[in-house]
Amino acid sequence: MAHILIVEARFYDHLNDMLLAGARRAIESAGHTHETLTVPGALEVPGAIALAAATHDYDAYVAIGVVIRGETYHFEIVAGESARAIMALTLDGLAIGNGILTTENEEQAIRRADPEQLDKGGGAAEAALAMLKLRQRFDA
């Protein structure tokens, strides 16, 4: 049984609730346990994962949150840098599923977050578990 850390950037409560529901359902359905850690925004998610990884208490990580395009360039920075930092951690050997949504509007975010629609929270958890299996294969 693996112990998974879900790191959520809680900015849009109603969207995060859906992402969390999907992630938790996928992890529990696979027979694993989880904890949830909340950070202020998507840019803080990779840092929190790095800090948690140093404890060796978790087998895999699920990054979730929502970034919706606004009127400024800030969207590109947050979307790109959070994804880049998560990828860097993955290349360092951490099993991470990236479920940080980057959308043009709330309608797209709802469709992707809702466990009864595209279930990107569940998909991120499944990706983390798949990467964990892959890491275990190569560590053996």
> pLDDT per residue over 5-60, tens digit each?
999 999 899 999 999 999 999 999 999 999 999 999 999 999 999 999 999 999 99
- Is 42 annotated to bind ligand? yes
- Is 98 annotated to bind ligand? yes
What is the C-alpha separation between 89 and 7, in angstroms, rounded?
14
Q: Which two tokens stand for residue 70?
A: 């606004």
- Is 90 annotated to bind ligand? no
The answer as to whether 60 is a domain residue is yes
Count helices and strands (H / E) in the chain.
5, 4
Going by pLDDT thresholds of 50, 70 and 90, the confidence category of residue 73 is confident
- Which residue segment(s) compose the domain that 46 sits in? 3-68+80-125
pLDDT tens digit sequence for 100-111: 999 999 999 999
- Active-site residue (options: 32, 34, 56, 74): 74
Q: What is the pTM of this model?
A: 0.96
What pLDDT does 71 receive?
84
The residue type found at 91 is L
What is the C-alpha separation between 129 and 107, in angstroms, rounded?
28
What pLDDT does 79 receive?
93
Q: Count of domains in the chain?
A: 1
The answer as to whether 132 is a domain residue is no
> Is 74 assigned a catalytic role?
yes
